[in-house]
Amino acid sequence: MTMTGKFMGAVLCASLLFTPAAFAQDGGPLARPIYERDQWLPPSVPTSDDVLRVPTPATYNAPKGSFVLVGGRLFDGTGKAARPATVVVIGKTITAVLEPGDRNWPAEAVVHDVTGKTVMPGLIDLHTHLTFMAGSDAASVYSSANLSASESTMRAVKRMSVYLESGITSVRDVASHGDVPFVLKRLQASGEVPGPRIFTAGQLITQTGGHAAIHTFGPGWPEVANGNPNGMARIASGPDGWREAVRIQFAKGADLIKLASEYSQDEITAAVDEAHSLGLPVTVDAETQYIDMAIKAGVDSIEHPLPRSDAAVALMAKRGIASVPTMIAYRVIQRGSGGYFGSTSRRFELNETTIEAMAAKMRRAGVKMGIGLDVVALAGTGFLPGSYIDELESFTRIGFTKSEALVAATKTGAEIMRMGDRLGTIEPGKLADIIVVDGNPDQDFAALRRVKTAFVNGRLMLQDGRIYKEPHVEVPLPERK
């Protein structure tokens, strides 16, 4: 390590020495726990297939008909070894996993012969920004693309197709422009727009000058900074302001709340308390002392492999606070531009060695970890599926087996989104988010470059590696009376 690196490390360690004492007597989170809506909703009451769990008709967003996947090897995402099996789906629900040779399925079911291929749960990307500026737009935060909802929508729709082609059937969008992610979430769920399920935070919440605050800017700033309806971030100030910012995202239909440093303890505690009171989990983009504050408040997950004390890592494991390390994002930044420059929320040593070392430390401590990419710089989704494969390989370097890494990409990802009862595994009763891979991804991640078929919510959305959409059905003109 260079002298500069040693000095920075010493300063960081010294600053963190103040926090373990506060952790020595862990009295639990300051914010209240998440309000569990399901306690008031017995299984007989159907609800929406998202975190909100709003009562819906039983047939809501369910396609008609049934299908069967026959002849393949099943990697079900539960941690069991792959095995030969037949998967039966009726509407949007997996109804049976049969032994080979068992033909107990509806007579009218569409039969897909997947001999020689692997059937598995769709992959999950826990850290996306569907509308983030691309290419030359990203070079200027004052670009009109930062304020145009129509351009943001077109970027997102294009990316949704790429995610699906890469076998990703669910994305957790942790900050996008305005109401775009909410509109696309609804259209995808109804089958009108092909792509992965969207679980969205809406706008990221931060303070004036905080991480990502720059993405509220545009012509007219600062007048529009706090209320810019098309910005990716919302600036809030004071505990009441942070509560109100949470309520605004909830009112739009958020599945989670995304917070970012910097903030005061009172601010983040108020935001987490408000989100939990509404039944929403909270994730945070934070570093050093701000991670301590987030843990103290009671957040549910922490993005990125940024510096934190050993005490903070231990408390994450103890309290069940998940990690989404996004190691690939920092490799792309490091290799593409030489480093993470110009950000006041990244004032520490940050390189490929430090990010993997922090992720490995969390793995050893027993912190729950899921797969998220956050690759929005340079080519962004153009790196897929290689960027997802690279993140899986990173997980094997920090202590996961190949099968465990794929479980992190499916089952654990669903659990982190609070959707583990409906997604992430191929089991009876789960929603039919299924991909068919030409090869054995549990043995060789490179097979994920050959995703041939994808079903989302029981709908065929990828066929022969290409986006599939039901053909238009003509509606008869009204007859003359």
Q: How many CA atoms lie within 13 A of 429 on its CB side?
A: 6
The string of pLDDT tens digits covering residues 144-165 is 445 678 888 999 999 999 999 9
Q: What is the pLDDT at residue 1?
A: 36
12: pLDDT confidence band, cut at 50, 70 and 90?
very low
Reduced to 3 states, what is the DSSP secondary structure of residue 53?
A: coil
Query: How high does pLDDT run on average in the chain?
Result: 89
In the CATH hierarchy, which fold is given to the domain comprising 3-27+123-416?
Answer: TIM Barrel (3.20.20)
17: pLDDT confidence band, cut at 50, 70 and 90?
very low
Q: What is the pLDDT at residue 328?
A: 95
**Which amino acid is it at 429?**
G
State how far the Cα of 215 lies from the Cα of 235, in Å rounded to an integer: 10
Q: What is the pLDDT at residue 220?
A: 40
Those residues with Cβ within 8 angstroms of residue 103's Cβ, 6 or more apart along the chain or in another chain: none
Q: What is the pLDDT at residue 41?
A: 87
Look at residue 136 and tell me whether its pLDDT is greater than 60.
no
Detail the DSSP E strand segments found in 19-117: 66-70, 73-74, 83-84, 86-90, 93-98, 110-113
Cα 191 vs. chain centroid, distance in angstroms?
Answer: 20
- Give the mean pLDDT of 351-360: 93
Supply the CATH classification number for the domain 66-121+432-467. Answer: 2.30.40.10
Of the listed ranges 17-26, 95-104, 152-161, 276-285, the one predicted with least confidence: 17-26
Indicate the DSSP class of residue 43.
T
Which long-range contacts link 48-53 to residues 24+ away (Cβ below 8 Å)? 49/92, 49/189, 49/197, 49/422, 49/431, 49/457, 50/185, 50/199, 50/255, 50/419, 51/199, 51/255, 51/256, 51/279, 51/280, 51/281, 51/417, 51/418, 51/419, 52/253, 52/255, 52/279, 53/279
State how far the Cα of 96 lies from the Cα of 182, in Å rounded to an integer: 32
The string of pLDDT tens digits covering residues 342-353 is 777 777 778 889
Give the rounded percent of residues in the chain with a pLDDT score beyond 70.
Answer: 88
CATH 3.20.20.140 maps onto the chain at: 3-27+123-416
- Give the mean pLDDT of 76-97: 98
Neighbours of 118 (CB within 10 A): 23
Cα 243 vs. chain centroid, distance in angstroms?
Answer: 23
CATH 2.30.40.10 maps onto the chain at: 66-121+432-467
Q: Which alpha helices (DSSP H) does 1-108 contain, by range?
A: 3-16, 20-24
DSSP per-residue codes, 143-177: -GGGT-HHHHHHHHHHHHHHHHHTTEEEEEE---S
Angle (CA) 325-331-334 rounded to 5° is 125
Tokens of 44: 């007989």
Look at residue 378 and tell me whether its pLDDT is greater than 70.
no
224: pLDDT confidence band, cut at 50, 70 and 90?
very low
Of the listed ranges 5-9, 37-41, 458-462, 473-477, the one predicted with least confidence: 5-9
**Which amino acid is it at 18?**
F
Higher pLDDT pick, 245 / 336 = 245
The string of pLDDT tens digits covering residues 238-269 is 999 999 999 999 999 999 999 999 999 999 99
Look at residue 361 and tell me whether its pLDDT is greater than 90.
yes
Q: What is the pLDDT at residue 19?
A: 38
> Residue 374 region, left (φ>0) first, then alpha (ψ -120 to 50), else beta?
left
Look at residue 288 and tell me whether its pLDDT is greater than 90.
yes
Cis-peptide, bond into residue 262, ω within 30° of zero: yes
- Give the mean pLDDT of 31-58: 90
Q: What is the pLDDT at residue 441?
A: 98
User: What percentage of the chain's residues is helix, strand, coil (to nearest 5)?
Assistant: 35, 20, 45
Of the listed ranges 10-14, 235-239, 379-383, the one predicted with least confidence: 10-14
